[in-house]
Each structure stands twice: as structure tokens, then as C-alpha cells.
Amino acid sequence: MYPSVSAEEIRSYLTSRYDFKRPMQLEEVAADAERMLRQWQVQVTHPRYFGLYNPSVTLSSVVADTLVATYNPQLASWRTSPAANEIERHTLAWFAGLFGLPADSAATFTSGGAEANLSAVVSALASAFPRYSDEGLHRLPERPAIYLSSEAHHSFDKIACMTGLGRSALRVVPVDSDLKMDPQQLVAKIANDRERGFVPLMVVGTAGTTAAGVIDPLPVLADICREKRMWFHVDAAWGGAAIVSPSLRRHLAGIESADSITCDAHKWLSVAMACGMFFCRHPEVVRKAFSTDAGYMPSSANPTTSDPYMTSVQWSRRFIGLKLFLSLAERGENGQATMIEHQARMGDLLRQSLTAAGWRVVNRTPLPVICFTRDGLDVPAFLQELKRQQIAWMSETSIAGTPVVRACITSFKTTADDIFDVVREITDLADEIDAQLETAPYEMN
């Protein structure tokens, strides 16, 4: 599961075999590439991979990517790939409906959450400042500000730089004891910025933070944005998939009030990488933000259908949405919900099992992200040994400034037996490390 290899080893191997001066048999190269991926990669599709948001993928997702590579459709314009464009529109419309957005909302597939979040910021700027799209930031009468919690995704650091806002435009709002954005602190920061001549542009509410899986108080944030006339964006890159589950979607209450939403199918909907989604309830704003005049592009199919390159960051684009379309069609809404709910149950089982074994769970969320520790645990040493023994893959994060172990269930392959075995093995491992630390001073003497 965890590769023990150095960059020098891989580079030496590639240099010795692939100088590209002579042709090689495809079967030989493909077999070698597969061996390298099998041997020199963290196996994120393994049922005991409890790391970042990289799920096991369904066969339908693999079939979809194969079909797309075979036909290589170009989705920049509708006329070039009518079937692919309509399949994506149909799939996105289904999700928009689940999120409670209007039927005419703008939606597009993206490379991931970072691109979707970038689309949201650009759309918010185009909405708040009519001259922004044509004249840029330097002609704005006041400086915009973006509000997000200290637990929000760091893609907004890059976005602030790329859009020209600068990182100084980001207002980091403190969180409460459950790591949720504090609405009172948000209101105070907005008021302070208005007094200083800034324009409060947008609030970013997170539905499933990366570190601890926390969902911000979306209904309260929506009310604040409505009152203050600000753009409300919900970064639900991971947690947004809960919308397909009848038992989990209530935790996303308030998302239906968002001006824009980010959701990544490749995080918790069991499809292959590069399948993000961006939704916006204001289609006219999206067209204003991203439209351009390109005479070399095929003319639009009809006045009611916007070509994707006119409503998104990307221009040339792969047929991203087929993997999600096939997965939904194969399993159906109930089948997709069952996969999500199974993983949530495994998360609950992991919490219960850890607590019963003497560990301390330090985060609270209905989603399957579990942050835990125990007294005296050396987290880096524990994780290093965990990986060396190939027990499971987990990561380190910090909660309230304290290093803890983070485990996330994003594989439909994970079973109760996996949970029980991992908890038993990591408990034994931690006991062994503790025993070694206790005897070390005596050995030194």
C-alpha cells in the first residue's frame, strides 16, 4: 500500500530503459507502466486507504474514461460534440435539482474543486462589479474582500493570487469549538471592513472541511449574505456528495440558498480523477464572466444553448462527465445513495471502535472523517510505523494546534472487518511504541 522507493531509484530506472530513441512494443511498455504504478504508488483504491479524498473507482467509471479516450470528443462547442454536451447537461441538471437550485442554473464539469472555486470568485466579481470583466480590478472603486473560515480549503490562497485580488483580500474568520465558522466573528469582520472602505464580496461556507470534515452553519451564513448583499459560495467539494443520500442530505441544509456551489464527483462518488462540478444560480453572470468572441469557433447550435467555452474557465475540454453519467445510470439514485451511506456507517463504526479501544476522537462531523489520538502519542512516529507495517494509510492533521491522526473512509470496498482489524492493529502498534519509549531511558543508563 505504501511504496518504499526514492526519486533517484525511479529516475534511474526510467533513464536506463526509456531514452525514446527506439520504438518498443506497446504490450511491453504498458505492462511495465502498470508494474511501476502497482509497485511505486500509494494504492488509494485499497479498502484500507483512509487518507485524503481519493476513492475506489467503479468499473463504469473506468469504462467511461476508455470510451472518452477512444472517441476523444472536444467539448468546447456544442456543435462539435452534441451527444457529449447533452449528456453532461443532463447529469449536471440532476445534481442541480438535488441541491435545490433553479432549473436554469449554470453548471459545468471542471478539473476539480480548485477550478470550481476559481469560477465562483470570478463570477462573484462579475456580479458585484459590472466593469470588472472588461476593465479589471484596477478600475474598481474599492477593494473586495472574501470571508472564509480558518478550516477552508487553501485553493483560495492561489485563487486570490490568480485573480489579482491578492492574498490580503482573504479574511480568515475564527471557528468555534466544533471548528465551524463563527457567524458573530464573520459579522464583526464584515462591519470592520466596511468602515475601512473595503467591499465585502463573498462568504465561502465549507461543507466538509479537508482536515476534519466539518460543515459550516450554512443557513446562518446564507442569511448573513442575503442581509449584507454578498455572494454566498458553498465549497462542498467533498461533502456535497451527501446530497444523494436521504439520510445525510439534511446536514447540507442551507446549500439551496447558495449563489454558487463546488462539488467533486471524484472525491466521494467513486469515479476516477478530474471530475469536479461548478453550479451557479445566475447563468447571466456566468456568461458575463466567461464569454468571449472567437470567430474561428463553430457557431452556437441555437440561441438557448451556450457553448461550454463561453461559460467556463476551460476552453478545450475532455468529456469529463461521462464517468459520472455511467455510474449513476448503472447504479441508479438508490444504489449511489447506498454506497455513500455505507461509507458513512463505516466512519461511525471506526469512531465507535476507536473509542472502545481507548482512543480519543477529537472532531465532530456526520461525515466519515475521524481525527483521533491518545495521551502521549507521537503522531509522526506512529504514522511512519503504520505505513512501514502496511497496516493502513492515514494522514496527520492539526486540530486546535495539536497533531492528530486523520482517517477518512472514501472506499465502497471498506468493510466492518477492515475497521475491526485496523483498530486492533493500530492499538497494538501504539502500545508497542509506548513500551519502547518507556524502556528507552533504562537502556540508555
DSSP labels for 203-224? EEEEBS-TTT--B--HHHHHHH
Of 3.40.640.10, 3.40.190.10, 3.30.465.10, 3.30.365.10, which CATH number belongs to 63-326? 3.40.640.10
**Closest by alpha carbon to 115, among 147, 57, 149, 159?**
159
pLDDT at 184: 98
Q: pLDDT: is 358 or 3 the higher one? A: 358
**Closest by alpha carbon to 395, among 55, 52, 152, 43?**
52
pLDDT at 174: 97
In the block, cell 479574511 appears at 171
Q: pLDDT (tens digit, 9 = 90+) per residue, 66-81?
A: 999 999 999 999 989 9
Whole-angstrom distance, CA of residue 334 vs CA of residue 330: 11
420, amino acid identity: F
Whole-angstrom distance, CA of residue 73 vs CA of residue 82: 10
pLDDT at 443: 52
149 - beta bridge partners?
173
From 133-147, 181-195, 296-310, the region with the lowest mean pLDDT: 296-310
Whole-angstrom distance, CA of residue 137 vs CA of residue 208: 31
pLDDT at 138: 84
Beta strands in 59-142 (DSSP E): 106-110
Calculate mean pLDDT across residues 80-95: 96
Q: What is the DSSP string of 262-327?
A: EEEHHHHS---SS-EEEEES-HHHHHHHH----TTSPPPSSTT---GGGSSS-SS---TTHHHHHH
Report yes or no: 148 and 204 within 8 Å, Cβ to Cβ: yes
Q: pLDDT (tens digit, 9 = 90+) per residue, 324-349?
A: 999 999 999 999 999 999 999 999 99
Distance of CA 50 to the CA centre of its chain: 15
**Closest by alpha carbon to 310, among 336, 289, 280?**
289
pLDDT at 202: 98
Report yes or no: 299 and 293 within 8 Å, Cβ to Cβ: no
Report yes or no: 128 and 201 within 8 Å, Cβ to Cβ: yes
Domain ranges of the chain: 63-326
Calculate mean pLDDT across residues 207-223: 97
Counted residue by residue, the chain has a size of: 445
Report yes or no: 322 and 67 within 8 Å, Cβ to Cβ: yes
Whole-angstrom distance, CA of residue 148 vs CA of residue 230: 13
**Residue 211: left if φ>0, alpha if ψ -120 to 50, beta else—which one?**
alpha
State the average pLDDT for the chain: 94
Whole-angstrom distance, CA of residue 285 vs CA of residue 126: 7
306 falls in which pLDDT band (50, 70, 90)? confident
Report yes or no: 341 and 333 within 8 Å, Cβ to Cβ: no
Residue 405 three-state SS: strand
63 falls in which pLDDT band (50, 70, 90)? very high
Calculate mean pLDDT across residues 138-159: 94
Task: Please list, in sequence order, all residues whose beta carbon lies within 8 angstroms of the beta carbon of residue 33, skipping any fewer than 6 positions away.
Answer: none
**Backbone phi, then psi, for 60, in 5-degree steps?**
-60, -35
Whole-angstrom distance, CA of residue 30 vs CA of residue 10: 16
Given a cut of 70, whether residue 303 has pLDDT beyond it is no
Q: pLDDT (tens digit, 9 = 90+) per residue, 20-58?
A: 999 999 999 999 999 999 999 999 999 999 998 989 999
Report yes or no: 71 and 337 within 8 Å, Cβ to Cβ: no
Grid cell, residue 230, equals 454578498
Given a cut of 60, whether residue 445 has pLDDT beyond it is no
**Closest by alpha carbon to 64, among 264, 277, 320, 339?**
320
Calculate mean pLDDT across residues 142-153: 96
Query: How far, CA to CA in Å, does 113 sit from each of 67, 210, 237, 367?
Result: 24, 12, 6, 18
pLDDT at 334: 96
Report yes or no: 244 and 295 within 8 Å, Cβ to Cβ: no
Task: Please list, in sequence order, all residues whose beta carbon lies within 8 angstroms of the beta carbon of residue 176, skipping any fewer than 6 positions away.
Answer: 182
Task: Please list, in sequence order, all residues whose beta carbon lies within 8 angstroms of the beta carbon of residue 102, skipping any fewer than 6 positions away.
Answer: 96, 281
346, amino acid identity: M
Whole-angstrom distance, CA of residue 200 vs CA of residue 405: 36
The share of the chain scoring above pLDDT 70, in percent, equals 97
DSSP letter for 112, please.
Answer: S
pLDDT at 444: 47
107 - beta bridge partners?
279
232, amino acid identity: F
pLDDT at 434: 83
> What is the pTM (predicted TM-score) of this model?
0.94
Grid cell, residue 187, equals 459579522
Q: pLDDT (tens digit, 9 = 90+) per residue, 369-404?
A: 999 999 999 999 999 999 999 999 999 999 988 999
